[in-house]
Structures are given as structure tokens and as C-alpha cells.
Amino acid sequence: MNLEQLRSFVEVARFGNFTRAAEELYLAQPSLSRQIAALEHDLGAELFHRARGGSTLTVAGESLLPLARRMLADAESVRRELAELAGLERGRVRLGATPTLCISLVAEVLSAFHAEHPAIELHLSEQGSRGLLDELAGGELDLALVTTTDATAPGRVTVTPLLVEELVVVSSAAAPPVTDRETISLAEVARLPQIVFSSTYDLRAATDAAFRVASLAPEVVLEGAEMDAVLRFVERGLGVAIVPALVLIDRPRLRAVRLAERALDRTISLAMPADVAPTAAVEVMRRTIAAEATAFAARAGETMRVAGPVSAD
């Protein structure tokens, strides 16, 4: 006697009909009949009076029905209890991410995770990498997606590289291309009207440093915007911007060109507390992040590659 046989028995008893019970269980009727026959053989008693008009319970079947329902309910209770202990139907995950990643990779991660584990409570902290690493070290987050190298991480945090992506120059797809070549130099970009990020962005510091090293002074038409606003302004032709390749996925109103200076890239890393064992829910989130990061790299082509050993297995 097994749970599948009991489930089949309860459904036949509920409908009084093998055909309808088989449809409810997504079984072929012969398979359902074999399960009931095997159950009757194991118990040494017939459970149904079979007739053309339907099937009714025998005395043995009437005795078994409440017991079968209780056993199935107990089995479901055990399954739920074990799932809750594993942290997959109850609990929370506190994830941090930079603003750039929140409008791209994180949206896909949270969508995939919530679809599989809708009862898990999700908390998101959106800020720069330095603030996220401080929150991890202080026990306020379970894991975070950052763009800071592990050399700058606090001692109580481990940082594992996920993706390396190029920074590209974007312009409005409705305007003429900024160049007819496959790449554009920083010197050429400096002569174009630019929209630049808030000074709190790690990305702003990286691009400022690149222009400074090249002794260039970019022409800035708008300064201090957040990522989503920058992309919208570019779409409307206000200027160009230097952005991570990741944010261009599914944005057909933007045109991108790669920089000739390939040194302008960034590493996206997964940061976690070094001295705290992750819950099962956090571990599932880690695997979800790894899987979605790999999928993003495949979609981005040459502008992005998988950087580290984080496994989705």
C-alpha cells in the first residue's frame, strides 16, 4: 500500500466513477484501475462495487476511506513541515543590489525565485556597493550583488566574481549612429554631449577616472541622474551615456557601441557573510542568482562573460 494508491482510492470514492477520477489525477484509466486492484490485493478485500452506472464503496471501502484521508493529510503535513524546516515555504531572504543591477539582473532573479517559492518573504536593499558590503558585515543582509572587488570587502564578507561586463556607449536608436565603426574611442566620446550619473555611483567614479587618465574633459549636458532616468534621457536623444552592457537587454530604443579602450569594464560579484551558514532559502537564492547570471551572459554576447566559479547546481 502506498500514498498514490490511497490518493487514487479517495478520488474514486469522491467521484463514484473511475473515468472522472482518472481525469482528476491526470492518469490513464487503466493505470488507475491497476492501482485500485493492487490496493485491494494488498488489503485482501474489495473496496468498490463496480457497475455500469458507477462505483460505490463496499463495507471495507467505507472503513478505509476516513483512514486513507487521514493518512494523506498526515503525509501532506509532513511534507509541509519538512519544507518549512528547509526554509522553502516559510522564512525570508534579504538581498542587496546596486541600482544598475536592480533594473536588470535582479528583476529576473526575483521573478524566477518568487515563481518557485512564493511564500518566502523577500527584502531588497538598493544602494551602492560600499553600503551593501557594510550592511552584510553588520548582519543586515543575507547576500548582495555588488560591483566592488574582494580587496575592498570587510573581513567578515566573502566576495565571489560572477560576471565581467564591458561598459558601452549608448545613444538613441531613433538618432543617427554616433560612429559607423564597431568601436568608439574615449576621445570621441568626450566630444559628444553626455549624461552622467550621480557622484554616489561606482560607475561614475570609474568613468571619471578613465577620462582623467586620458587627459580628457567630457562635454556634460546633464549630471546627477539615476540609472533609469539616464537611459530614458538617452532614448529621447538628450545625449549619450556610458553604461554597463547588462542594462541594454530588452531595450530596443537604445543603440550601443563598444569602447575601443576595453579596460573600461566591471566585475559583478556575489557577496555573502563569511561567518554565517546560509539558510536553505538563501542557498536557493544563491543558486538562482548563479543561473540567471549565466543566462544573462549568454544573451549579452561578447560584452559579458561568466567570471567566477559560483555554481547553480
CA distance 44 to 30: 21
Overall fold of domain 3-85: Arc Repressor Mutant, subunit A (1.10.10)
Domain with CATH 1.10.10.10 in the chain: 3-85
Using the CB atoms, write b or e for 241-267: b if 16+ within 10 Å: bbbbbbbbeebeebbbbbbbbeebbbb
CA distance 21 to 102: 46
CA distance 236 to 254: 9
Q: What tens digit of pLDDT does each residue of 102-152 get? A: 888 999 999 999 998 898 999 999 988 888 998 988 889 999 999 864 445
Cα distances (angstroms) measured from residue 122 to each of 4, 111, 147:
35, 11, 22
pTM over 0.85: no
What pLDDT does residue 153 have? 62
Strand partners, 215: none
What CATH class does 95-313 carry? alpha beta
For the chain, list residues with pLDDT below 70.
Answer: 84-85, 148-154, 261-263, 304, 308-313
What pLDDT does residue 201 have? 79
Please return the burial class of 308, using the count of CB atoms within 10 Å of its CB with bins 0-12, 13-18 and 19+.
middle
Task: Check residue 98 and give left, alpha or beta (phi > 0: left; psi -120 to 50: alpha).
Answer: beta
